[in-house]
Amino acid sequence: MPNASIYFQQREPSPLRQIWLHMNTNPYAVAALYILGILMVIMVLSPLITPYSPDQQFADAISHPPSWHDEGEIRFLFGTDDLGRDLLSRIIAGSVYSLGYPILAVAIAATIGITIGAWAGMSSGVQSSTLNHMLDVILSIPSLLLALVIIAILGPALHNVMIAITLVLIPQFIHSVHNAIYDERYKEYVTASRLNGCSRWYLLTRVIFPNITTVVVMQLTLALSTAILDIAALGFLGLGVQPPAPEWGTMLARSLDQVYLSPWTMVLPGIALFLTILSINVLGDSIRTAIQERVRNV
Amino acid sequence: MTKVLEVVDISKYYIHKTGWLPGKKICALEPISFSLERGETLAIMGETGSGKSTIAKLIAGAEVPSQGDIFLNGQRLDPHNYRQRCQHIRMIFQDALRSLNPETSVGAQLAEPLHFNTDWDQEKKTSHVVETLRKVGLLPDHYNFYPHMLSSGQQQRVCIARAIILEPQIIVADEAFVALDPSIRAQIINLMLDLQQDMGISFIFVTHSAEIVKHIADKILIMHHGRLIEFGTTEALIKNPQQELTKNLLHAESKHNVLTHSTIQE
């Protein structure tokens, strides 16, 4: 383009940057973003930043209250549990189970679900409905119940829980992506692109996909909060992650006996879980509104 | 003059299906044939639902005909081969905003047909897009704009730019001027007439407006209930219409003018 840089020009921000700018005006979204960002960093760095090993027991400090309590010690910032294990280390190490594994499950489910959903959306007739309804049987059972069935057969273990959660999430992705693509597919701009001689792959990835990001983002956040809650719930029931591992749900279940003696062993993992789910939902919701706002008119 | 486009017995039936029973056949267009010469402008007129949009879509390739063939310079057009067709026949849609991808910049959308139909490098594509934007009276700056940022007239110009960017032989416009206000409509029509002179394009218009038809069309095709009822030169149809409908369609505008005129006088 000639003479582009002679005068100052106000450039239109790119779509991604517009979404970012719109999100920045919402303080809750920014707070959620920071909380989630910090949680992610903590999760990735958890082997390095835990002050003690999560399984190390201190015989001299059993059920120590948190450091802000009169009897607390700064050595154990969040106090210790009834076996003398440092709670801060356990919560930090637990983020891998309670946040990392759900992210992994959602990533796998999204990859498979979006692929099949896109394929179903771009094809038509019997092929389309076969792909679309392939995994519908799973939808008839609530995710927690299906996880229970799988665990009843294969035994309680983290990988069984992961299989169950991934399986449950896939059909939801298939349906939402299929419906979104089906809605877009017969719109005029797609026909116009088709008349441009575009290949089907280009049509899907460059023409239709940018217009269904709202649906995908919404489904991703929904799936992530479901996955976190399910893993925590199964841990709480003693069917998922097994006790010595510092999973937040498991920690909640263990602390149930001593809730009156040492309430911090229940409150602190509970707060961690609550903050994670809340920030994911707030963030997902504000990204969705930002995308819609951008389309509606800046 | 040579025949650019020859339409032979094309028809379109839709199957309206409810439940498992075999569907009912609904006729949108009965078999029709006509031909178009180079640089000629054909107007298709008719009432709502008379099949005129269907003809436009069939010629442009947006719909597949139930039977019949379309020949371009004597060569048969395959209804599923979009790449063959889009280099010669391009379409302008009725609603400019809806026919532009809201998530892609104008420049990227205009480069799309070049990407699939030429083997040019990025630089040449960009310069060709900029040149085409200039041709339709837009600025190079509009390259980075998104469709919703443009006015409706500018959106229509982008659609025209998209239609002419591959230098086609035929442009099909499906009621492309209905939504525009009169001054912009005049601008755009003049723009298209200029382009026709420069590039020797044949136009096919679908329109309601008798004024536009009288102004630019060489031939008129009148549709009624999916049937062709009259086809001839503009002059012949205006002076000597054979059908009542033709008379009504072509003189509707002038009656309307008289009315507004008289109210102003009052």
Tell me the chain A residues in contact with residue B162 when contact means C-beta distances shorter than 8 Å: 192, 196
Q: Render pLDDT for B48-97 as a digit per residue (tens, 0 to 9).
A: 778 888 888 888 888 888 888 888 887 888 877 777 788 888 888 888 88
Residue B13 covered by a domain:
no
Contacts of A179 (CB under 8 A, 6+ apart): A121, A215
Contact status, residue A266 vs residue A252, Cβ threshold 8 Å: yes
Query: Domain boundaries in chain A?
Result: 15-296
Alpha helices in chain A (DSSP H): 15-24, 27-49, 87-95, 101-122, 125-133, 136-139, 143-154, 158-185, 188-195, 200-202, 213-236, 248-255, 264-296
Report CB contact under 8 Å: B103, A202: no
CA atoms within 13 A on the CB side of B151: 6
Nearest to A195 among B62, B98, B126 (CB): B62
Q: From A191, which residue of chain B is nearest by alpha-carbon distance?
A: B62
Q: What is the pLDDT of residues B195-211, one digit of tens each?
A: 888 878 888 888 877 77
CATH number of the domain enclosing B188? 3.40.50.300
Tens digits of pLDDT across chain B (266 residues): 577 888 888 888 887 777 777 777 788 888 888 888 888 888 888 887 788 888 888 888 888 888 888 888 878 888 777 777 888 888 888 888 888 888 888 888 888 888 888 888 888 888 989 988 888 888 888 888 888 888 888 888 888 888 888 888 888 888 877 767 777 788 878 888 888 888 788 888 888 777 788 888 888 888 888 888 888 888 888 777 777 777 777 776 554 444 444 444 43
Distance of CA A162 to the CA centre of its chain: 13
ipTM of the complex as predicted: 0.80
pLDDT score, position A98: 86
Q: Specify if B11 maps to a domain.
A: no
pLDDT < 70: residue spans in chain A: 1-14, 295-298
| pTM to 2 decimal places | 0.80
The CATH number of A15-296 is 1.10.3720.10
Say if residues B6 and B65 touch (Cβ distance below 8 Å).
Answer: no
What is the rounded distance in angstroms from the CA atom of residue B38 to the CA atom of residue B118?
A: 24
Cβ separation B86–A1 shorter than 8 A: no
For B42, phi and psi rounded to 5 degrees?
-110, 130
- Domain containing B233 equals 43-65+81-265
What's the pLDDT at A112?
93
The reported pLDDT for the residue numbered B53 is 83
* Residues forming a β-bridge with B218: none
Structure token digits, residue A36: 């989630």
CA–CA min distance A220, chain B (Å): 20
Whether B140 maps to a domain, the answer reads yes
Count how many domains chain B has.
1
